[in-house]
Amino acid sequence: MTLLDVQDLWVKFPTRQGIFEAVRGVSFTLGKERLGIVGESGSGKSMTGRAILRLIRPPGIVEADHVALEGTDLLGLSEKQMRKVRGERISMVMQDPKFSLNPVMRVGDQIMEAYLLHNQVGKAEARAKSLEMLQAVSIRDPERVMRAYPHEMSGGMGQRIMIAMMLIPNPQILIADEPTSALDVSVQRQVLNIMDDLVKQRGMGLIFISHDLNLVSEFCDRVLIMYAGRIVETCAADRLHEAQHPYTRGLLNSLPRLDQPRRKLDVLTRDPAWAEVPSVGGKA
């Protein structure tokens, strides 16, 4: 079943040197699955995620044939209707909880706010729900965390709070934009496992944006490889090592592997011709 259908998505920014195209005609679908989008910085992967939520601010331009959420084109919605989509149906976890949580608001208020925006309930119920959600992301002392300010939390805690906050209105799709890049390696997996469990339990669709091929192949069902604003290759995550595109091969070969030690890692070479080839369809 298709949750999200993106067809020919473009994101453009007018600059002094002309129009910069960050995303150039990307198409893919998302079902109740975990879809990874991989690419280096500037490949347009984050912009794709943000464009789906219509978070690109003017002067940035988003164009697409359609970005359909269960058949409704999001680009045709009014800003007010779009607010009902954000949070309630599609949510997003960002890179660094240090910046993505409001520093002067208590954690509890921020989580409750996310619930209250989409549910007509009293504060007491929102509070109970938030405590429950914090427990669901394996936070041991939720009462204390509710009262705390973001700067008092570690990175791993912050990101779990962020996940709790984004999942509390029970959305169908979660976009995770580099959710672990800012965290210590030691807690990365823990946070990902928590997120993964919740996504599976709730039968959600997940778009996992990352530059880390290993993580993506491990936590996703399907992978899109983006380069220069286009999808250059798409494949099942467990078949990633069979990928054909020279860019993907280059990415794979530049990673160190314990099972195949090498004296010197390959340096990624980029062929300008790749950027000119039309986007590969990312439909399942």
Residues lying near another protein in the complex (CB under 8 A) are found at 50, 53, 55, 79, 83-88, 91-92, 94-96, 99-105, 113-114, 117-118, 149, 151, 162, 165-166, 169
Residue with smaller CB distance to another protein, 113 or 218? 113
The minimum distance between CB 94 and another protein, in angstroms, equals 6
The minimum distance between CB 261 and another protein, in angstroms, equals 35
Q: How far is it, in rounded angstroms, from Cα 14 to Cα 247?
A: 28
Give the Å distances, CA to CA, from 218 to 49, 59, 140, 162: 20, 37, 27, 22
The minimum distance between CB 240 and another protein, in angstroms, equals 29
Residue with smaller CB distance to another protein, 108 or 248? 108
Alpha helices in 29-122 (DSSP H): 45-52, 79-85, 97-100, 107-118
Residue 206: strand pairing partners: 34, 174
Burial 53-82 (b: 16+ CB within 10 A, else e): bbebeeebebebebbbbeeeebbebeeeeb
The minimum distance between CB 260 and another protein, in angstroms, equals 38
**What amino acid is encoded at 226 in this protein?**
M
Residue with smaller CB distance to another protein, 142 or 169? 169
Residue with smaller CB distance to another protein, 118 or 189? 118
> At a CB cut-off of 8 Å and minimum separation 6, what does 221 contact?
33, 34, 35, 236, 237
What is the SS3 assignment for 185?
helix
Residue with smaller CB distance to another protein, 146 or 225? 146
- Locate 68 and state its tokens: 């359909």
Residue with smaller CB distance to another protein, 156 or 234? 156
The minimum distance between CB 99 and another protein, in angstroms, equals 4
The minimum distance between CB 2 and another protein, in angstroms, equals 22
Q: How far is it, in rounded angstroms, from Cα 12 to Cα 129?
A: 40
